[in-house]
Amino acid sequence: MAAEPIVIKFSHVVAPNTPKGKAADYFKKIAEERTKGAVKVEVYPNSQLYKDREEMEALQIGAVQMLAPSLAKFGPLGVRAFELYDLPYIFPNKETLYRVMDGDIGKKLFGMLNAKGISGLAYWDNGFKQMSANKPIKTVADFKGLKMRIQSSKVLEAQMKAMGANPQVMAFSEVYSALQQGVVDGTENPMSNLYTQKMHEVQKYLTLSDHGYLGYAVIVNKGFWDGLPADIRATLNKAMADATVYERKIAQDENDDSLAAVKKAGTTEIYVLPYKDRVLWHQAMLPVHKEFEEKIGRDLIQAAYNVAAQVEKEKAAAATAPAQKDKPGPTKTKK
């Protein structure tokens, strides 16, 4: 008689057709195939089992085994170092971001979850955030007095205040009507969030600023994970790594497609923030890094800076490499 399969309840709060939803289903498919039915993954999207604010406790008590919450959820859990990911302009590009997540910094942050009865498996992507409002926002001065919606985060609150705006914490589900009714003037989102929630219908102006990042961590109940047979755990780790590659690819594609769709809709004027203004935005927001270095850890912030500098150095070297290759060598003279 075949043994009962190991059941993993994977709960998340978004729709099945989002990058996170699609990747959860993909993980289910390959995990079940590769373990030949020894593992059964039950995916519960759209907060079917637990709402946003309830799911972390459900994981800790073992009511579910796997989640993929927003990275901003770990600060309120008491692991303030995760607020590194909320810092404005901490990641100048995706290369830096992924190197931080997949390298020593990301591993160190996951290690901090162990004391909470949680193990971190992978970082999943949403995308860089853009600013939108019902008036043009091109300069720092344009933010003065604007009511800007944020998710609950002390870092994001400080970021908006640094720009001269009034941050308003609000549930994601309430943002469309709040923008429509003028309760708030604007918000920040990756393109896929802005488009799928139809915010472009109620936002006249969009500035492509890439000023911050929104992502997720796939986490499991530590007791459950450590109790799995070693071969099963290794197979699931590989399945999660493959699901992560898949998720990051579709997240980028969806952001690109969403930007194209907003352009096509014609309801929103799109402004690409020039480099010179990006520098000024960066300067205005940089004090937020200093403000939170005690909570997050000065060493972690510096380590992220070092990764960014290394990526920049490698890019500069790669850019000059072809030119060096084409240079003629020294002329050989006959003896």
Q: Where are the domains of the chain?
A: 6-314
Distance CA 98, CA 102 (A): 6
Distance CA 81, CA 69 (A): 16
Contact assessment for residue 56 and residue 179, using Cβ atoms and an 8 Å cutoff: no
Res 333: pLDDT: 40
Between the alpha carbon of residue 2 and those of residues 37, 46, 104, 233, 259, the distances in Å are: 10, 33, 41, 20, 50
Please determine, looking at this structure, whether the domain spanning 6-314 carries the CATH number 2.60.120.260. no
Res 192: pLDDT: 87
Q: What is the pLDDT along the chain (335 residues), one digit of tens a residue?
A: 568 999 999 999 887 888 899 999 999 999 999 999 999 999 999 888 888 778 999 999 999 999 999 898 898 899 999 999 999 999 999 999 999 999 999 999 999 999 999 999 999 999 999 999 999 999 999 999 999 999 888 999 999 999 999 999 987 778 999 999 999 999 999 998 899 889 999 999 999 999 999 999 999 999 999 999 999 999 999 999 999 999 999 999 999 999 999 999 999 999 999 999 999 999 999 999 999 999 999 999 999 999 999 999 999 998 887 655 554 444 444 43
Res 277: pLDDT: 96
Distance CA 110, CA 287 (A): 26
Res 48: pLDDT: 87
Instruction: For the beta carbon of residue 78, count every other beta carbon within 10 angstroms.
Output: 10
Distance CA 161, CA 167 (A): 7
Element (H, E) at 14: none
Longest dimension (CA), the chain: 86
Res 332: pLDDT: 44
Instruction: For the beta carbon of residue 316, count every other beta carbon within 10 angstroms.
Output: 10
Res 328: pLDDT: 45
Distance CA 272, CA 4 (A): 55
Res 37: pLDDT: 94
Contact assessment for residue 29 and residue 66, using Cβ atoms and an 8 Å cutoff: no
Residue 305: strand, helix, or coil: helix
Distance separating the N- and C-terminal Cα atoms of the chain: 85
Strands 147-150 and 166-169: parallel
Contact residues for 128 (Cβ-Cβ < 8 A; gap 6+): 91, 190, 210, 211, 212, 213, 214, 255
Residue type, 84: L
What's the pTM value of the predicted model, to 2 decimals? 0.87
Between the alpha carbon of residue 256 and those of residues 16, 43, 54, 241, 300, the distances in Å are: 19, 27, 32, 23, 31
